[in-house]
Structure 1
Amino acid sequence: MPRPLVVGNGRLLINFDDRLHMRDLYYPYVGQLNHVGGHFSKLGIWASGRFSWLDEEGWKRTLGYSKESLVTDVYAQHEGLGLSLRIADGVHQRDPIYLKQIRVRNLTSEHREVRVFFNHDLSINETEVGDTAVFDPMLNAVYHYKRNVYIMVNGRTPEGGIDQYSVGIKRFNYAEGTWRDAEDGILSGNPIAQGSVDSTISFRLMLGPQEEKSLEYWLCIGDSYDAVKSLNQYVLESDPQRLLNRVGVYWQRWVNKEERDFADLSPEVVELYKTSLLLVRTQIDQNGAILAANDSDILQFNRDHYSYMWPRDGALIACAMAKAGYTATVAPFFHFCADALNDDGYLLHKYNPDGSVGSSWHPYIVDGEMQLPIQEDETALVLHALWEQYKSGKQLEDCQALYPTLVRPAARFLLQYIEPAYQLPRPSYDLWEERRGIFTFTSATVFAGLKAAARFAQLFGDDRRYKRYDEGAERIREAMLSHLYDPEIGRFLRGIYIRQDGHVEKDFTVESSLFSIFAFGVLPVDDPRVTSTMEAVKRSLRVDTEIGGFARYQGDYYFKKSHDTARVPGNPWIICTLWVADWEIAKAKSLDELQEPKSRLSWVVRHALQSGVLSEQLDPFTGAPVSVAPLTWSHATYVATVLRYLEKVKELQ
């Protein structure tokens, strides 16, 4: 399921799996539409009469990125074929162009012909119906098209351009696809096919003993034939290798634009910090949507995916990126949210990258009673994140423009959506989207959202609203201490449920999201009520296996791997483990006390994929990634925790 290699530019996103298949190609939005859809676009090699796809046994593959860059650095070697490949992939930093260089080395002492085959299993606009694939002899290129999406493939070696081609039918009437045509090293040359189609092209290299030569290959994506023809010409005139080098330089400059002292953090921790910044960037659409994840294999489990913008995830990711110095990168997110805001001032469950409302399982009616199908923390956290954005970038004009369109209507909703008898936010769904009630996490975010709105009102001289928002936040703080802190158990509850007969049911489940009490400023980190709550989190959610880490909450069932809840309360989550580290950092009073959270950063490094990609959660016994990877929230939380650690080191020094 994981996608260990991800390249993109905010318009075009391409994912590869660990067998070097292209599995996802999203355009014109990051996360929408997927023109590969999880199928296997493959790379194959023919040499000395023998053929092998790179997903077959016999290949040793090492996957990674070139230093501080969104250009991949992949090594593959096949002893039986006597060949090694050094592969670099990147997406142009501005245009929808994917570039690939393969340096092929002949490991034998013989002169040899080597043929490299590329198969393209595309489903344009996420359906195989009505596609066309055609060989264009004027450009010596192959392109696929349907309506307003054109994908052109081309390439060259020192021996010339495309040497062989074939287009044909796939997965229909017993036709497997043109990839089968490649396995004898010779393509049939069929020039066109329509319906459910694929294409395969090959390139020829003549290699002397121990000689290495390069192959350049590229995809151009656009809304018309003329658009992709123009991009193809741009690649040829600019030289594809030079373009790929420029892509690498651009991302190196981008990820190092902020000079930062990394104190005593190890090179591996710092490397993952920079990799995380880069990977987060690939998941942000140029129009503002911050996507949760774009690993289409999750479709196997629930016929839906993570290629949505959850306002909560987006807000917390925007906080991390703003603190890291990338305010311009996430600024469009807040305008996206302002446009998406309901007339009553709240955000819905999730959104598609184009701004339309995403799928949901939250109903408007339960047991005959009307309700808002929302997670209120999603609205509140956007206001909190906007204030963090302002603190980091001091973009006064941008925030002033958002004050009447986002801040004021959202704050008005937060003030009104209150349970009168408790002065807490009315019931909504929790941050995990699993239950409806009044939760500590949600209440803490509403407190933070109203405090942010109050600060904006004060900043803009709106004294009347400042007082209203600030007093509303303080009422929620007091209500949390009265109703969500339980003195009998000496810690905060996950939440409470108000039943139809008026009875209040307490939820004593220990949950990692209780870090929100100090993280969003409800109470200081050294308050005894915070300490007792977080100690319960560490004690109750620790995963007692060799893998370690912390679970989301007691009895977590999502992708459950063990029924031994005493040892494994749930799978270890990257995010939840880092939340524990955040508390340890915040309460530290000496450099020695920072050693434990520092070790948690190293724990994350150990459980990243070889390429640096972080998953959502881990198998508690093997450490294998579970659910989607990369998860944008995991990478952003890692960035935020590293920054908190560095701030604390500076403070203690």
Structure 2
Amino acid sequence: MTIRSVLLSNGRLCVTFDETGTMRELFFPVVGLLNHVCHGEGTGVFLWSGKWAPLFREKDEVTARYERGMVVTWKRAVSKSLPFDLVQDAVDPYVPVWVRSFVVSDFSGDITVFFRHRYAIGETTVGECAAWSPEEKRLYHYKGSIWIAHSLILEPDAASESTCSLGELEVHGVAAKVRDGGVRFLPDAPRVLGNPVDHGYVESAIGVSGSLRGPVRLNYVAALGSNKEDADRALDEGLVLGFSGISARTRHYWKRYLLPRGFLWKVLPGEPGTGAAREDCPTGGRPFAEANAASVKRTRADEGGPGTSGTELPRDAGTGESDEMWAATTRRTKGFEPPACLENLEYLYNSSLLIASAHWSENGAIVASCDDDIMTDYRDHYRYVWPRDAAMVANALLKCGITHVARMYLKFAAECIHERGFFWQRYRPDGTRGSGWHPWFQQPGSLPIQADETALTLMTAGLYLDATGDLDTLQSLYSSLIRPAAEFLCSYRHPDGQVVLASYDLWEERLGSFAFTQAATAAGLWSAAKISRALGIRGTGILAEAALDLLEGLVNNFSRNNQGIFRSPGELVDDASLFLIPVVLGESGLAEHERRGSGRLWKTLVETRSRVGRALFTGGGMARYSGDWYWRQENFNYPGNPWIITTVWYLQAGMVLGVLRPEDVLARYMSSPVLPAAAGADTAHETQEGEDVSQATDRLRGIELVSTDGQYSRRRHEENPELPVELRWFTSVASPSGAFPEQVHPGTLKPLSVMPLAWSHGCFLDLVNSLR
């Protein structure tokens, strides 16, 4: 599979790049709807240095890292023989403009660079036109209501005082039919042949040639619009701002949401409970908060400023000026730096926030993944809005302070919801019904839907109320979304009210009444009741009563013989969706109500987490369920591939249920922040001497081999130690740019299926926020 390392988006324009920096997807004006490029085919940057050579090669070592915003830097992306030191990409937060900037430091001499394009505007190669405008020095591709304008400009490097102008270089462009061989790079001269205009399935190139003297930036700018005038206006702004202006705007936009440097170090509790101090940690073995406070006081005293009496700087758990002041103070402290392992965790949090946000479109759609590579096998993709994924991503971003994503998603959901109050399996990003695999005709009384998608969307509305208090928005959505969804869930139960009617499970694979669907329905109804009370709507007590009936039914109908809860009545299958039950109950507020009662459900959920965790632990993470077939690897005796989301849920459930303390999770990570250097299954399972991978898995699950008359059987230990599911697993399965896949190989931890997956990033944000 071709890994997508980077997504950059502003809600209208979204571009993705693979590991070599090649653009793979281009979406406009709706993120995820139509991919306007041919999967990187024919695109690239080519330079003349005696012969034509591509800027990016598959064999080159390329590392992409997000900056503080929709900006990415490609390091070691070019050969030392080429003039560019590094390459940077940025998307403006307000205007549909993408700029790729090439930094030239020490080079001085003649240069020829061409940027070649092969688009498929509207996701088809039919009827496109490419034209070069020599007066404007702009290259256009257009079809219907999609126009793409390109140009090049030189920009002084911010680190130097040199001046330059585009007049020093000649800019030219050509177009040609792919049928005729496309644009042609002459092998013995720095020239490209083509036509000033061409149509059909076309290819184009825009380039510069002439004398170049560093330090300077060469900026390639592409802007999109619904017509030539709109595209030109956006391109004008991009050329005026340059890379420096656009990157400054995006950094300023995202500054309020991203964690400042050293933030996680600052909020660590004073008594972590476990984990030995590392030699390179600046605490010297003291409690974290104590060492932190001491260092801040010492710094202020050394500088002679306020605080010489021992008063420390304000260190509230937010992302305001006090956090930035604290981070700046730690940088000035001699010998004091936040541990690198926590900086890695902060980077993953920030990149996850950017990547999850990049899947959101201005119309409120949140697609599961923009990765088109899976189309090679399935001729379909993940560029759909599953209300399940979208609601959980919106919830995660809501907790990060990004409230507009949840608000717009709820408006999108109000447009999509069926008149009876439920959602179909998935939707296209424009709100139309998407393809699916659930048979239309089901058993009497059931529908080909996932009831949990309706419930989770109601939870989003409840969390939005908690986070914003925005009654005006919720009032405007009440009759179109909240009331019909709540009424449907309230009616979609068996006559006794204690079990939900049949719908598809969280994994979209089987029809029945499932424990997670039941818990999510209860949480959704509880959220709807809370919203109704806040809006002063009478007669909504029936919603809260229905939620409590479902909680009672969860214990009465889904649990068995002190073994905890199972996936469905009469089906003894261990399923990771059971980890999510305490999480949704906690977020909706139902957990507090249940704990004030008998607490019977809470005790049952602790038993459930222990049993399911031991059954699904594999590759250092958690599989979806026993016998999972999706992307299953041959010759592996495992329950299934470990997924990012299920591994997060295992840790989250432990913290919600009180089995795990957040400070213990962080302390264990700090004591050993990375997996051993060796790759493979032995690394994932940390085999001991003389063990193979299967034996290591059994040991960590608490299973032992027992011999009876020469026959061996596997028996579970009565002891129930906490499984070694660690934060370091997440840092090991993420790409260098911070992208998470859907799932990983249980032996090598290599990514499988799509990458990145918005759901994976949303769940990781939830995990780190739980630690905070």
Q: Residues 541 and 370 (structure 1 numbering): CA distance in 2 closer, same or farther, change over 3 Å?
A: same
Equivalent position of 1:559 in the other structure: 631
Task: Find the aligned partners of 1:381 and 1:561 in 2 and give their Cα distance.
Answer: 31
Q: Which amino acid aligns with 1:476?
A: L
Q: Is the 8 A contact 1:492 1:533 kept in 2?
A: yes
Q: Which amino acid aligns with 2:389?
A: D
Equivalent position of 1:163 in the other structure: 171
1:302 aligns with 2:302: no
Task: Find the aligned partners of 2:261 and 2:499 in 1 and give their Cα distance.
Answer: 41
Task: Find the aligned partners of 1:182 and 1:582 in 2 and give their Cα distance.
Answer: 59
Equivalent position of 1:409 in the other structure: 484
Structure index of larger Rg: 2
Q: Residues 607 and 235 (structure 1 numbering): CA distance in 2 closer, same or farther, change over 3 Å?
A: same
Equivalent position of 1:399 in the other structure: 474
Task: Tell me by how many angstroms 1:78 deviates.
Answer: 4.5
TM-score, normalization: structure 2? 0.76
Task: Tell me by how many angstroms 1:235 deviates.
Answer: 2.9
Equivalent position of 1:651 in the other structure: none
Q: Which amino acid aligns with 2:205?
A: T
CA deviations 1:245-267 (Å, max 9, x no partner) are 33333333443599966523811
Equivalent position of 2:559 in the other structure: 485
Q: Is the 8 A contact 1:82 1:106 kept in 2?
A: no
TM-score, normalization: structure 1? 0.89
- 1:137-176 equivalent positions in 2, closer than 5 A: 137-157=134-154, 158=165, 160=167, 163-170=171-178, 172=179, 175-176=180-181
Q: Which amino acid aligns with 1:281?
A: S
Tell me the number of residue pairs that the alignment of Structure 1 and Structure 2 aligns. 620
Equivalent position of 1:220 in the other structure: 223
Equivalent position of 1:503 in the other structure: none
1:197 aligns with 2:202: yes
Equivalent position of 1:119 in the other structure: 116
Q: Is the 8 A contact 2:391 2:460 kept in 1?
A: yes
The answer for unaligned runs of 5 or more in structure 1 is 497-505, 647-653
The answer for unaligned runs of 5 or more in structure 2 is 155-164, 269-340, 586-590, 670-724
SS of the residue aligned with 1:32?
Answer: coil
Task: Tell me by how many angstroms 1:483 deviates.
Answer: 1.3
Q: Is the 8 A contact 2:440 2:448 kept in 1?
A: yes
Task: Tell me by how many angstroms 1:589 deviates.
Answer: 6.7
Q: Residues 129 and 439 (structure 1 numbering): CA distance in 2 closer, same or farther, change over 3 Å?
A: same
Q: Is the 8 A contact 2:134 2:172 kept in 1?
A: no
Among residues 731, 740, 746, which one is paired with 1:605 in the alignment? 731
- 1:83-482 equivalent positions in 2, closer than 5 A: 83-105=83-105, 112-157=109-154, 158=165, 160=167, 163-170=171-178, 172=179, 175-178=180-183, 185-204=190-209, 206-207=211-212, 211-255=214-258, 263-264=267-268, 266-366=342-442, 371-420=446-495, 423-465=498-540, 467-482=541-556
Task: Find the aligned partners of 2:463 and 2:761 in 1 and give their Cα distance.
Answer: 18
Aligned-residue Cα RMSD (Å) equals 2.5
Equivalent position of 1:649 in the other structure: none
1:60 aligns with 2:61: yes
Percent identical among aligned pairs is: 31
Task: Tell me by how many angstroms 1:472 deviates.
Answer: 0.9
Q: Which amino acid aligns with 2:649?
A: W
Task: Find the aligned partners of 2:47 and 2:746 in 1 and give their Cα distance.
Answer: 41
Q: Residues 533 and 305 (structure 1 numbering): CA distance in 2 closer, same or farther, change over 3 Å?
A: same
Q: Residues 212 and 395 (structure 1 numbering): CA distance in 2 closer, same or farther, change over 3 Å?
A: same
Equivalent position of 1:502 in the other structure: none
Q: Residues 77 and 577 (structure 1 numbering): CA distance in 2 closer, same or farther, change over 3 Å?
A: closer
Task: Find the aligned partners of 1:119 and 1:619 in 2 and give their Cα distance.
Answer: 36
Equivalent position of 1:500 in the other structure: none
Q: Residues 590 and 122 (structure 1 numbering): CA distance in 2 closer, same or farther, change over 3 Å?
A: closer
CA deviations 1:596-644 (Å, max 9, x no partner) are 8857333212221111111111112222211111111111111111111
Q: Is the 8 A contact 2:8 2:90 kept in 1?
A: yes
Q: Which amino acid aligns with 2:577?
A: S
Task: Tell me by how many angstroms 1:421 deviates.
Answer: 6.0
Task: Tell me by how many angstroms 1:243 deviates.
Answer: 3.0
Task: Find the aligned partners of 1:183 and 1:69 in 2 and give their Cα distance.
Answer: 42
Task: Tell me by how many angstroms 1:429 deviates.
Answer: 0.8
SS of the residue aligned with 2:24?
Answer: strand
CA deviations 1:145-178 (Å, max 9, x no partner) are 11111111111235546634221122x3xx4532
Equivalent position of 2:301 in the other structure: none
SS of the residue aligned with 2:25?
Answer: strand
SS of the residue aligned with 2:365?
Answer: coil
Equivalent position of 1:578 in the other structure: 648
Task: Find the aligned partners of 2:261 and 2:553 in 1 and give their Cα distance.
Answer: 41
Q: Which amino acid aligns with 2:456?
A: L
Task: Find the aligned partners of 2:216 and 2:70 in 1 and give their Cα distance.
Answer: 23
Task: Find the aligned partners of 1:454 and 1:570 in 2 and give their Cα distance.
Answer: 38
SS of the residue aligned with 2:467?
Answer: helix
Task: Tell me by how many angstroms 1:44 deviates.
Answer: 2.9
Task: Tell me by how many angstroms 1:85 deviates.
Answer: 3.5
Task: Find the aligned partners of 1:597 and 1:318 in 2 and give their Cα distance.
Answer: 30
CA deviations 1:545-593 (Å, max 9, x no partner) are 4xx211111111111114433xx21111111111111022221475664
Task: Find the aligned partners of 1:423 and 1:608 in 2 and give their Cα distance.
Answer: 41
Q: Residues 550 and 590 (structure 1 numbering): CA distance in 2 closer, same or farther, change over 3 Å?
A: closer
Q: Is the 8 A contact 2:471 2:535 kept in 1?
A: no
Q: Is the 8 A contact 1:419 1:426 kept in 2?
A: yes
